[in-house]
Amino acid sequence: MSMFTFDMNLILWTNIIALLFSFFVVGAVLGAFFTKTPAGKKFVEKARQRLRVLMFGWEFPPFNSGGLGVACLGLVRALSGKDLDIVFVMPKRLPDGVPFAKMVSAEIDKAKIDSSSLGYSVEYAVNSPIAPYDSSKSYVRREDGTYYEDGTLVYGSDLVSEARRYARLGGAIAARAPHALIYAHDWLSFGAGKEAKRVSKKPFIAHIHSTEFDRTGGNADQNIYDIEREGLHAADHIIAVSGKTKNTVVDRYGIPSHKVHVVWNGIDESTAPARNPAAPLRLAALQQAGYNVVLFMGRITIQKGPDYFVRAARRVIDRDPNVLFILAGSGDMERQMMHLAASLGIGDKVLFPGFLRGHEQHEAYALADLFVMPSVSEPFGLTVLEAMRMGTPVIVSKQSGVAEAVEHALKVDFWDVEKMANLMLSVLESPALHAKLKKKGVAEAASLTWDRAAESIRGIVDTVAVPAS
């Protein structure tokens, strides 16, 4: 080969490499522009098609019994800013005036499907009092005169019957409301989503916030499991709130791994407990009396591990009697925990203020020197983000989904009450550790927003949804 030919080949390959490098640089710049800068994000959002989503849920704040309703509020509000028009279907009639939602008629034949200025409305389908965290047995126990109207029993005799009644109406609503996508939250709504898909043939996303195995400590109700499993298999895509939940869905329900997407929950001003300056402070006197305060906030049920919290409290008080423990919430183990505290000789050091909302939650987080979530099986754990956002250091069980999402929280196995107690004392006795967890926790909670979650979900939606005609 002549020197001339060699030089020409060298020049050719040099030009090719330079051209490829230019493409790489331009691609990187454009990628950064479209994903990082406000102008780029706006361009991407404008390029998206506006889609209509028929969404089935079970509760919506301020009428909620736990994290499911809070998550629905945060997600719906954030998703409405992602070019999604959401019709949010509820199973029970609630009074007008729910913030951030437009209320319409409870009767299917009179209901109007429209959008408020926020991009979604609420449709009421089934007038039912049950909460998403009831079990079949607890729902039967709750069925009394409270739920009769004009002498007529309005509601089904058990939780499963109510979910199936809701499911039957899913198809009727889907036939009336044009939509590109069906979206359902948790097992109580999965049947409605499945029936809607059968009628409209539109793709169906199932968002699972908690499985039957989480709620029952592994002793799953077969009827609820069957409904949950059928809904998950009917869905085209599944959103799980953590890798922990994804593993449960894959292992326990036989769902292919590629079908399940992990999207962590978030927090923002719309869902974080807010202070009300006009409301009285119920708990402030505890801190004024010089006590250190450790807080538990959640349902007092087997899933949340309140017994491990109380047993760890006994160990802490043995070493520092100047610590008070607040067990805030309600549930089927509440009386049992009162008896446990008394039997351990710490009945005067464990307070039970009941179920807290809004301002009262804000006050409890602000008062607490430490927040502990000792859940036996926790799909995510929104209370951890609420505490961190308030600057309250946190200890979480390793068996929680939020443990994947946060770095600046102390982590312990729920059953290791000795270590749990030692970690509590470490935070209470070390101003430096307390300050570090507070500072880092606030910053970390600020990065875990509902908008971040909604952006991930919008990406999933774009892979399956076909615009309605």
Tens digits of per-residue pLDDT, 170-191?
A: 888 888 888 999 999 999 999 9
| Least reliable range by pLDDT among 61-75, 145-159, 320-334, 357-371 | 145-159
Cβ atoms within 10 Å of 211's Cβ, excluding its own: 25
Average pLDDT over residues 224-250: 96
Residues 415 and 457 placed together within one structural domain of the fold: no
Same domain (yes/no): 104, 222 = yes
104 and 167, same domain (yes or no):
yes
**At 191, which helix (H) or strand (E)?**
helix 186-200
Write down the pLDDT at residue 144: 40
Whether 14 is in a domain gets the answer: no
More confident residue, 106 or 14: 14
Q: Are strands 410-412 and 394-397 parallel, antiparallel or unpaired?
A: parallel
Q: Which residue has the tokens 């910053």?
A: 443
Report the alpha-carbon distance of residue 294 to residue 327 in Å, rounded. Answer: 9
Does 115 reside within a domain?
Answer: yes
Give the residue numbers spanning the domain of 422: 284-447
Give the contacts of 265 (CB within 8 A, at least 6 positions apart): 67, 71, 74, 241, 380, 382, 385, 402, 448, 450, 453
Give how many domains the chain has, as a whole number.
2
202 and 126, same structural domain?
yes
Same domain, 238 and 306: no
pLDDT digits (tens, 9 = 90+) for 258-308: 999 999 999 999 888 888 777 667 777 777 778 899 999 999 999 999 999
Hunting for tokens 């399940």 — which residue is that?
Answer: 260
> Could you give the 3-state DSSP secondary structure of residue 411?
strand
7 located within any domain:
no
Is there a domain that residue 35 lies in?
Answer: no
- Who contacts 83 (Cβ-Cβ below 8 Å, separation ≥6)? 45, 48, 49, 50, 51, 458
Taking 90 as the threshold, does the pLDDT of residue 108 lie above it? no
Q: What is the mean pLDDT of residues 90-108?
A: 47
Pairwise CA distance, residues 246 & 249, whole Å: 5
Do residues 421 and 459 share a domain? no
13 pLDDT tier (thresholds 50, 70, 90): low
pLDDT for residue 159: 76
- Residue 30 confidence (pLDDT): 55
Average pLDDT over residues 10-28: 59
Residues 69 and 126 placed together within one structural domain of the fold: yes
Pair 248, 289 in one domain: no
Backbone φ and ψ of 98, nearest 5°: -65, 125
Give the lowest-confidence range in 281-295, 322-336, 353-367.
281-295
> Cβ-count burial of 113 within 10 angstroms (0-12 exposed, 13-18 middle, 19+ buried)?
middle
Residue that wins the pLDDT comparison between 58 and 462: 462
Which residues, 6 or more positions from 410, have their beta carbon under 8 angstroms from its beta carbon?
A: 393, 394, 395, 396, 423, 426, 427, 437
Burial string for 76-91 (b: 16+ CB within 10 Å, else e) reads: bbbbbebbbbbbbbbb
pLDDT in tens, 401-424: 999 999 999 999 999 999 999 999
Q: Are 132 and 74 members of one domain?
A: yes
Average pLDDT (427-449) is 97
Of residues 416, 426, 293, 412, the one with CA closest to residue 364: 293
Angle between helices 334-343 and 306-319 (to 10 degrees): 30
**Cβ(181)–Cβ(51) below 8 Å:** yes
313 and 328 housed in the same domain: yes
* 163-200 CB burial, b ≥16 within 10 A, e <16: bbbbbebbbbbbebbebbbbbbbbbbbbbbbbbbbeeb
Q: What is the pLDDT of residue 118?
A: 40
pLDDT at position 116, please? 45
Give a yes or no: residue 36 inside a domain: no
Tell me the C-alpha distance between 209 and 206, whole Å.
10
- Residue 2 DSSP label: -
* 323-328 and 292-297 strand pairing: parallel
The pLDDT value recorded for residue 98 is 42
Query: Is the CA virtual torsion 191, 73, 212, 252 positive or negative?
Result: positive
Task: CATH number of the domain at 331, please.
Answer: 3.40.50.2000
222, two tokens = 């077969």
pLDDT per residue over 195-218, tens digit each? 999 999 999 999 999 999 988 877
Q: Is the pLDDT of residue 360 over 70?
A: yes
> Residue 21 domain-assigned?
no
Tell whether 153 is covered by a domain.
yes
372 against 48, higher pLDDT: 372
Cβ atoms of residues 251 and 211 within 8 Å? no
CA distance 347 to 446: 37
Which one has a higher pLDDT value, 221 or 101? 221
Of 104, 271, 84, the closest CA to residue 173 belongs to 104
Look up residue 361 and give its two tokens: 């939650």
Tokens linked to 201: 């043939």
Q: Would you say residue 17 lies in a domain?
A: no
Q: Are residues 342 and 258 in the same domain?
A: no
Residues 223 and 322 occupy one common structural domain? no
pLDDT band at 151 (very low <50, low <70, confident <90, very high): very low
Q: Name which residue leads in pLDDT, 162 or 422.
A: 422
Confidence of residue 242 (pLDDT cuts 50, 70, 90): very high
- In sequence order, what DSSP letters do the residues of 89-147 get, joined into one string? EESS---S--TT--B--SSGGG------TTSEEEEE-------TT--HHHHHHH-SGGG
Tell me the whole-structure pTM to 2 decimals. 0.81
Residue 155 has pLDDT above 60, yes or no: no
Q: Is the pLDDT of residue 469 over 70?
A: no
Comparing 222 with 126, the larger pLDDT belongs to 222
Q: What local confidence, expressed as pLDDT, does residue 381 receive?
A: 95
| pLDDT for the residue 295 | 97
Q: Which residue type is seen at 317?
A: I
